[in-house]
Structure 1
Amino acid sequence: MISLSSMSISAQDTQTPPRTKSEAAKKAQQKVNGRVLKVVQNKSKYRVKVLQKSGRVISVDVDKKSGKVSRKKGKD
């Protein structure tokens, strides 16, 4: 019973909007495995650059209002 309630808290936490760059970095790492290189914020989102094990650097956007994490498409 305790583990179920902690699981539901974890599930809710994935959609909790990040309040800091550190929280945005954690959300990005949960979505894409790798090492966070840089976090930049603007008015509506955080952009997190992540170095993957393959050596590829990708950008992940974390929405400030919804907490939604999306991988940026296109050239960086």
Structure 2
Amino acid sequence: MKRWWLTILMVITLGLGPASDAVARQDRNDNAVESKAQAAEKARKQVNGRVLRVDQTRTAYRVKVLKKSGRVVSVDVDKRSGQVKSSDQRNSDR
């Protein structure tokens, strides 16, 4: 009888592992940017141009984009919020 309960307890414990991972993932921000590719796509859509380069800092991705006008702009994509800020917005925040 004890062995039966122990087996059930182990099955339940092992079964909850992936479920708890899913709950932890839901707590994360859905807008979070997890890769350079995601940052590049967000910046490309925001600026409407071609991505030239993506660099990573501790809190953001810096993306250089070539606009159709020929001008190169640099934007930051926040890793946590996914917010895209142009260089003009970055400078006015300081």
Bin of the TM-score, shorter chain as denominator length? 0.7 to 0.9
Structure 1 residue 53: Cα displacement: 0.8
Q: Which has the higher contact order (CA 8 A, sep 6+)?
A: 1
Structure 1 distance, partners of 2:56, 2:33, is 11
Q: Secondary structure at the match of 1:28?
A: helix
RMSD, aligned CA: 1.3
Structure 1 residue 20: Cα displacement: 0.4
Letter in 2 for 1:50: V
1:36 to 51, 58, 72: 51
Equivalent residue, structure 2, for 1:19: 34
State, as a whole percentage, how many aligned pairs show the same letter.
55
Structure 1 residue 63: Cα displacement: 0.2
- Larger proportion of helix: 2
Structure 1 distance, partners of 2:87, 2:73, is 8
How many residue pairs match? The answer is 60
TM-score scaled by length of structure 1: 0.74
Structure 1 residue 31: Cα displacement: 0.6
Question: After superposition, what is the alpha-carbon deviation per residue over 1:34-54, rounded to whole angstroms, capped at 9, x for unaligned?
Answer: 000000001000000000111
State whether structure 2 residue 64 is matched by structure 1 residue 64: no
Question: After superposition, what is the alpha-carbon deviation per residue over 1:8-67, rounded to whole angstroms, capped at 9, x for unaligned?
Answer: xxxxxxx61110000000000111100000000010000000001111000011001111
Structure 1 stretches of 4+ with a deviation exceeding 6 A read none
Q: Secondary structure at the match of 1:54?
A: coil
TM-score scaled by length of structure 2: 0.60
